[in-house]
Copies of this chain bind each other. A is one copy, B any other.
Amino acid sequence: MTDATDVQAFEDGSAEDRELLGGKGANLAEMVGLGLPVPPGFTVTTEACREYLRTGELADDLWERIEHQVDALEEKMGRTLGDVEAPLLVSVRSGAPASMPGMMDTVLNLGIGSVAEEGLAAETDERFARDAHRRFVEMFGEIVLGIDADALAGVRDEVVADAGVDDASELDADQLADLIGRERDLVRGETGEDLPDDPREQLRAAIAAVFGSWDNDRARNYRRMEGIPDDLGTAVNVQAMVFGNRGQDSATGVAFSRDPSTGEPRPYGDWLRDAQGEDVVAGIRATEDLADLADEMPEIHAQLTDILQRLEEHYRDVQDVEFTVEDGTLWILQTRTGKRSAQAALRIAVDLVDEGVIDEDEAVRRVSPDDIDRLLHPQFDPEVDYEVLTTGLAASPGAASGEVVLTADEAARRGRDGDAVILVRIETSPDDVHGLDAARGVLTARGGLVSHAAIVARSLGKPAVCGADEVTIDLDAKTFQVGDVTVSEGEVISLDGATGEVVVGEVDLVEPRPEERFHLLLRWADERRRLGVRANADTADDAATAREFGAEGIGLCRTEHMFLGDRVPLVRRFVLASDDDERTDALRELESVQEEDFAALLEAMDGLPVTVRLLDAPLHEFLPDTEELVAADATGDLDDEGAALLDAVRTWAEVNPMLGTRAVRLAVLHPELYRMQVRALVKAAERRRGDGGDPHVQIMIPLVINGPETAAAIGWVREAIDEVDGEGVDVSIGAMIETPSAALLAEEIAGEAQFLSFGTNDLTQMTLGFSRDDVAGRVVQPYVDQGLLPVDPFQSVHEDTVGRLVRSAVASGRRGREDVDLGICGEHGGDPDSIRFFHDVGLAYVSCSPFRVPVARLAAAHAALAERDDDR
Q: Which A residues lie at the B interface, using CB under 8 A?
A: 626-627, 630-635, 654-661, 665, 668-669, 703, 705-706, 708-709, 712, 738-741, 744-745, 762, 765-771, 773-775, 778-779, 782-783, 786-789, 798, 800-801, 804-805
Contacts and interface: CB of A to CB of B under 8 A. Distances in A.
B801 A657 contact: no
Copies in the complex: 2
A738 B769 CA distance: 9
Contact of A767 (B665, B739, B788): B739
A38 B425 CA distance: 85
A481 B154 CA distance: 81
Contacts of A771: 654-660
Of the candidates A633, A634, A786, A788, the one having the most CB atoms from chain B within 10 angstroms of its own CB is A788
B627 A779 contact: no
B659 A744 contact: no
Given A659-B774, A709-B783, A801-B745, A767 B766 contact: yes
A656 B660 CA distance: 10
Contacts of A630: 627, 630-631, 634
Given A627-B630, A669-B782, A741-B801, A773 B712 contact: no
Contact of A635 (B635, B708, B712, B783): B635
A731 to B, nearest CB: 23
B668 A744 contact: no
A741 B762 contact: no
Contacts of A632: 634
A171 B381 CA distance: 106
12 contacts: A630-B630, A635-B635, A656-B657, A657-B771, A659-B659, A659-B771, A668-B786, A712-B786, A740-B767, A741-B798, A745-B800, A766-B769
A712 B656 contact: no
Given A659-B770, A669-B779, A773-B655, A789 B633 contact: no
Nearest to A770: B659
Given A660-B771, A739-B768, 18 more contacts: A627-B627, A654-B774, A655-B657, A656-B659, A656-B773, A657-B771, A657-B774, A659-B771, A659-B775, A661-B778, A668-B782, A708-B787, A709-B783, A739-B769, A740-B766, A744-B805, A745-B800, A762-B769
A530 B693 CA distance: 68
B744 A804 contact: yes
Nearest to A765: B659
A790 to B, nearest CB: 9
Given A661-B775, A706-B800, A788-B709, A767 B783 contact: no
B659 A769 contact: yes
A8 to B, nearest CB: 39
A740 B654 CA distance: 22
Contacts of A627: 626-627, 630
A665 B775 contact: yes
Given A669-B779, A739-B767, A768-B705, A774 B744 contact: no
A708 B788 contact: yes
A769 B705 contact: yes
Contacts of A745: 800-801
A448 to B, nearest CB: 12
Q: Nearest 5 CB-CB pairs, A to B?
A: A659-B771, A656-B771, A631-B634, A660-B774, A739-B769
B741 A706 contact: no
Contacts of A658: 655-656, 659, 769, 771
Given A659-B775, A706-B788, A800 B744 contact: yes
A387 to B, nearest CB: 28
A741 B802 CA distance: 8
Contacts of A782: 668-669
Nearest to A618: B774
Contacts of A633: 631
A741 B769 contact: yes
Contacts of A654: 771, 773-774
A655 B452 CA distance: 12
Nearest to A764: B741
Nearest to A782: B668
B656 A774 contact: yes
A703 B739 CA distance: 18
Nearest to A767: B740
